[in-house]
Structure 1
Amino acid sequence: MRRRVDTMQKEGMTNPRQTIWDAIRELAGEDLAKHFTVTDVVDRTGLHRKTTSDYFACLVAAEYLAQTQDTPPRFILRKDGGVHAPRLRRDGTAVTQGAGTLNMWRSMRVLAQFTYRDIALHSTTPTVSVTDETAKSFCAMLLATGFLRVIQKADPVKGRLAVYRLIRNDGPKPPQIQRVKQVFDPNTGKVYQRGAV
């Protein structure tokens, strides 16, 4: 039975690209030497053929997969980027939108306590830049909505920054700060208002 993407996400299932990536990694085997087809992945995942073949095209363009000249084409996993499905555009370039927020959230989940500068430092990578201002704003909003607790207050006279601890760690997806200045937690589906802690 095929499932629509929005139905899958409402039911708490992973996104289709993650499902496809998981199947590819399983089919490739530990040594990454096994060949597989789009049909193999469709049969394993129950996803639409077009969804699967579109993501395969992205993975080929980004050189994660190599395609044989067979009919039907067979594929081999050339590089395993890890557990998380590569976020790619059709031309194979990496999607970076939202990567800064995701990196900040991951840093908060790993660090026992932190300042906004720690978050900016730990979240910046060669492909993603997180400024102090961005990290400061993210921390302030998460503090106002009850995701963070102040461990040590800031002291501007001594040049000391506030130290925070994450207290609402609901899952791997980062909270989404919305335009109306509230925070949506995609892990639980709840919305948190400022000051409603």
Structure 2
Amino acid sequence: MSSKSNAKRQQSMSTLAGDVSPRQRIWDAIRHQHAEDGLITMQGIRIALKRQDDLPESLVSDYLRALIAGGFLERSNPDALPATTAIYFLKRDVGVEAPRVRRDGSLPPPPGREQLWRTLKIIGTCTGQELADAASTVVTPVSRAAADEYLTMLSRAEYVKTVREGKPGVPARFQLVPSRWTGPMAPQIRRTKQLYDPNTGEVVYSRVTKTEGGEP
């Protein structure tokens, strides 16, 4: 494969392995095939996933149908016989993040944490309350507590820097470090108090447990 083709392939994928959702892996495989030759098939998705038995075919088929209903995919031979290999085309490529499309093709509102992450990129410096206010929508309000927790974890992973230390009566101010914007998918806080970045497929922060006590 030429270096140009390899670069194109890399741009079309977030990751085909690692701790990502089944839908994200399927979407990665779809965009990979699209970048290769524009034709998308179930067999091609399986090859791109490289795990033939990992995801049930019914799960892949359900997501393909949802993507068709949402206008992301189009089947070139919808009237073909059942035994005919289905061929799809990527009609609407919305980027590396897998569409969270429902079965009927409708899109749910983005989770609050994703609203926080995307707002960080445009808001400049902010306190937890300011970030929560800017990220909130009528459908998905975001609390100050949620914003404070997210900023704390992002700060520990050095995704944001402290512009002003907090003190009684004066909240801390934070700012996204431009070089740490890794992509549109919000870094995820795990139950184990790790921060996982789905854009890079890496755990970027893990809380270190001390002999007595631990990090707050």
Residue in 2 that maps onto 1:174: 187
Matched, 1:186 2:196: yes
- Aligned match of 1:100 in 94, 101, 112? 112
Matched, 1:50 2:58: yes
Matched, 1:82 2:86: no
**Taking structure 1 as reference, are residues 96 and 152 closer, same or farther at Cα in structure 2, changes over 3 Å only?**
same
Q: State whether residues 107 and 123 of structure 1, in contact with CA within 8 Å, keep that contact through their aligned partners in structure 2.
A: yes
Residue in 2 that maps onto 1:18: 24
**Taking structure 1 as reference, are residues 107 and 195 closer, same or farther at Cα in structure 2, changes over 3 Å only?**
farther
Shift of 1:177: 7.6
Paired amino acid for 2:206:
K
* Whole-angstrom CA distance in 1 between matches of 2:196 and 2:39: 35
Q: Deviations over 1:123-153 (max 9, x none)?
A: 346x86334xx1x212333566664746154
Residue in 2 that maps onto 1:6: none
Q: Deviations over 1:12-32 (max 9, x none)?
A: 3433322221221232249xx
Report the secondary structure of 1:186's partner residue: strand
* Whole-angstrom CA distance in 2 between matches of 1:143 and 1:44: 36
Task: Report the number of matched residues.
Answer: 174
Q: Deviations over 1:128-183 (max 9, x none)?
A: 6334xx1x212333566664746154786xxx76422468x7975434386xxx84
**Taking structure 1 as reference, are residues 45 and 124 closer, same or farther at Cα in structure 2, changes over 3 Å only?**
same
* Whole-angstrom CA distance in 2 between matches of 1:16 and 1:143: 28
Give matches, 1:103-122, under 5 Å. 103-108=115-120, 113-120=125-132, 122=134
Deviation larger for 169-178 or 86-95: 169-178
Paired amino acid for 1:176:
I
TM (normalized to structure 1)?
A: 0.63
* Whole-angstrom CA distance in 1 between matches of 2:147 and 2:208: 14
CA RMSD of the aligned region, Å?
Answer: 4.0
**Taking structure 1 as reference, are residues 79 and 124 closer, same or farther at Cα in structure 2, changes over 3 Å only?**
farther
Q: Deviations over 1:71-130 (max 9, x none)?
A: 222111111111111112323222436x211221343466663223442355346x8633
* Whole-angstrom CA distance in 1 between matches of 2:119 and 2:214: 24
Matched, 1:59 2:59: no
Residue in 2 that maps onto 1:5: none
Report the secondary structure of 2:26's partner residue: helix
Shift of 1:62: 1.3
Q: State whether residues 141 and 177 of structure 1, in contact with CA within 8 Å, keep that contact through their aligned partners in structure 2.
A: no
Give structure 1 stretches of 5+ with no counterpart: 1-10
Paired amino acid for 2:103:
R
